[in-house]
Amino acid sequence: MGLYAGIDLHSTSSNLGIIDENDNRIFKKKVPNDPQRILETLDPYRKEISGIVVESTYNWYWLVDLLMDNDYRVHLANPSAMKRYEGLKHVDDTHDSFWLAHLLRLGILPKGYIYPKGDRPVRDLLRKRGHLVRIRTSLLLSLQGIIERNCGVRVKTNHIRMIRENHVEPLLNSQEDLLLSGKVSKDAIDFMTGKILEIERAVLNRVKLREPFIYLKTICGIGKILSLTIMLETGRIERFKKVGSYVS
């Protein structure tokens, strides 16, 4: 008899629910988010479990990796796509673990993509680069606004980012408070630029653009780093059933 498990993952603990092929609830327990405790809790049912569902929450990496490393068949549930099945929940459910297991048993579980563990760190490093670029852009726009309001001059972002020549301080040095505002902004922008370049150098040393993605660089505005970002975010292109799915 096959069993189906669902794990309702939270920040410090997880609710584990196991059902059989007839939807009978075999086991239910709240377990601390401790790898050893989770494995020990699952172990009595190990041979009978056909699959385990973990919802794609912000902190799913460690749990999915743990289960897969211990040879469990793991499914990552897509939370946004599961909303249409919320009517299948029992009103007395205190957590979603049985619901996740139920969707798996019925064969209607909307699944997310479990990105390969080995490629995940460098992909997330490029995500951190993107995060820093957005922060730097915000700082650049703010500094441009300060200069325009007070000096009536539009300074290009490339000029603001320049390290060897400071185009900001000469415009604001007539007023002490404005000068400090500009200096703080410029220092923060320069710091972000340094960290962005540090990430770019590390990524370029660790990963190469794979054959199917080399044509990305023929698109205007897409260079090495953005090509690698697209490649690593894509993962296995086969997971997209049609062009529209990939584009979205």
Parse the chain into domains and list their residue ranges. 3-106, 120-207
Please count the CA atoms within 13 angstroms of the CA of 34 that sit on its side-chain side. Answer: 7
Superfamily of domain 3-106: ATPase, nucleotide binding domain (3.30.420.40)
| Cα–Cα distance measured from residue 73 to residue 243, given in angstroms and rounded to the nearest whole number | 29
Tell whether pTM > 0.95. no
Q: What is the pLDDT of residue 94?
A: 59
Q: What is the pLDDT of residue 173?
A: 85
Strand partners, 16: 7, 29
Identity (one letter) of the amino acid at 29? K
Q: What is the pLDDT of residue 236?
A: 87
Please report the DSSP string for the chain in residue order.
--EEEEEEE-SSEEEEEEEETT--EEEEEEEES-HHHHHHHHGGGTTTEEEEEEE--TT-HHHHHHHHHTT--EEEE-TTGGGGGGGGS-TT-SSSHHHHHHHHHHT-PPBPP---TTTHHHHHHHHHHHHHHHHHHHHHHHHHHHHHHHH-----HHHHH-SSS-SSHHHHTTSHHHHHHHHHHHHHHHHHHHHHHHHHHHHHHH----GGGGGGGGSTT--HHHHHHHHHHH--GGG-SSHHHHH-
Q: What is the pLDDT of residue 1?
A: 65
Q: What is the pLDDT of residue 93?
A: 58
Say if residues 196 and 129 touch (Cβ distance below 8 Å).
yes
What does each of the 248 residues of the chain score in pLDDT, given as a tens digit?
699 999 999 999 999 999 999 999 999 999 999 999 999 999 999 999 999 999 999 999 999 999 999 999 999 999 888 877 777 676 555 578 999 999 999 999 999 999 999 999 999 999 999 999 999 999 999 999 999 999 888 888 888 888 777 888 888 888 899 999 999 999 999 999 999 999 999 999 999 999 889 999 999 999 999 999 999 999 888 888 888 888 87
**What is Dmax (Cα atoms) for the chain?**
81
Q: What is the pLDDT of residue 90?
A: 65
Say if residues 182 and 155 touch (Cβ distance below 8 Å).
no
Identity (one letter) of the amino acid at 45? Y
> Tokens standing for 228?
């690698």
| Cα–Cα distance measured from residue 221 to residue 128, given in angstroms and rounded to the nearest whole number | 20
